[in-house]
Structure 1
Amino acid sequence: MTVGEDAPEAAPGAGGAADRALRRDLEAVLMVVDQPVEAFELARGLGRPVGDVADALEELSAEYTAQGRGFDLRRVAEGWRIYTRPECAEVVEHFLKEGQEVRLTQAALETLAVVAYRQPVSRGRVSAVRGVNCDGVMRTLVLRGLIEEAGQDRESGAILYRTTSYFLERLGLMSLDDLPDLAPFLPDDIEGIDDTGEHAT
């Protein structure tokens, strides 16, 4: 480059290795959260300055939009979260509800049963009943339209879930009262488990 030439503009987010690592780590975390997360929470969890995290979030959001990705990173009142881009909502819904039927896995069936019989119920309690982390399975059931958010627990603030009308339709039921009486087979001490999945003291 000769003297006097303008330096080329840096690509968005084209910082050093630390910046690339931060963006990578933010993407990894945002892919698994089930509710919006504030920048300061992400900064605390990643051990990075809030300013750096906030800048990286803005860069990622702009980058996804510029590239026309099928998802975008949005900041809502409660924080940041990755969402399906609005113009893709119809095709996603069609794929999940009208596309090729895919049988639910055993894990998904067990998780769905717990939600059906204990609703409204938090992810923590569902995981406690099954004895394994159910976050991924719960997200799948939400995407398949079988369960949905049903507000928040007043004490813990945890998101609660319930089955949908589509769930009843798929099972050929008029209402939840038509479910077989399987509740007695679930652990009796589930009421003593808090929304983190731990036994309350």
Structure 2
Amino acid sequence: MSQVPPPDAGPSPEAVAADATPAADPTGLDNPTGLADPTGPVEASAPADLTGTATEVAADELAFDVEDLPGGALAALEAVLMVADEPIPAVRLASVLALPTTRVQELLDELAAEYRGDRGGRPRGFELRLAGAGWRIYSASPYADVVGRFVLEGQTARLTQAALETLAVIAYRQPVTRGQVSGVRGVNVDGVVRTLTARGLVAEAGTEPTTGAVLYETTGYFLERMGLASLDELPPLAPYLPDIDTLEGVDRANGEAR
């Protein structure tokens, strides 16, 4: 008669404990999901590095040193200014050259002096000027007649004498209305003012409080074209123009309004 085996009592407590111990991960990744174990101890971790991208960008920008280029930073600055089609602020130049703004300002002053011949060399036919809020290379003023002959010869889009006179009145007596400019010039200037506005040399600057007539002033583009840093550098011609106060009532007489 065969013997009936005793009922299975199940695994021993020691075996259960052994089975509960996790086996080593053959991949070397104890937590392949990358998620923190909520049951484990909380450990302080270093904050994520959020500056990595910015550091890489800065490194790209500083991949070269302008001082190591032929001619150094001075020549690099000169090369940038030569291709600029508008005045460039010193801050932007500093960003392009990866130099401190104070250093760029020193270089700008050095270049300007060199072009003037202040450093023992001959004066150049061009000069470096602060125009508006930025720096740009212009032909030197002593050669204006020669340059003007080259630029204006055969040019049909240049300003007429009437436009130049109107622009001068606005520049010296701004902000002014069309009626006030007409009072100075003695002719209607509506069409001329429209031309100057279309070319970006003048712009509307609000309205005259009592009559509602549109006021006009010169623009930053006007300063750029004239090679001026501010209106204070205009030649002293204003005393020959009548004060705007003497033209009160001109707008009402002309029926000019907004």
**Shorter-normalised TM range:** 0.3 to 0.5
TM-score with structure 2 setting the length: 0.36
Whichever of the two has the greater Rg, that structure is: 2
TM-score with structure 1 setting the length: 0.46
Looking at both structures, which has the greater relative contact order when contacts are Cα pairs under 8 Å and sequence separation is at least 6? 1
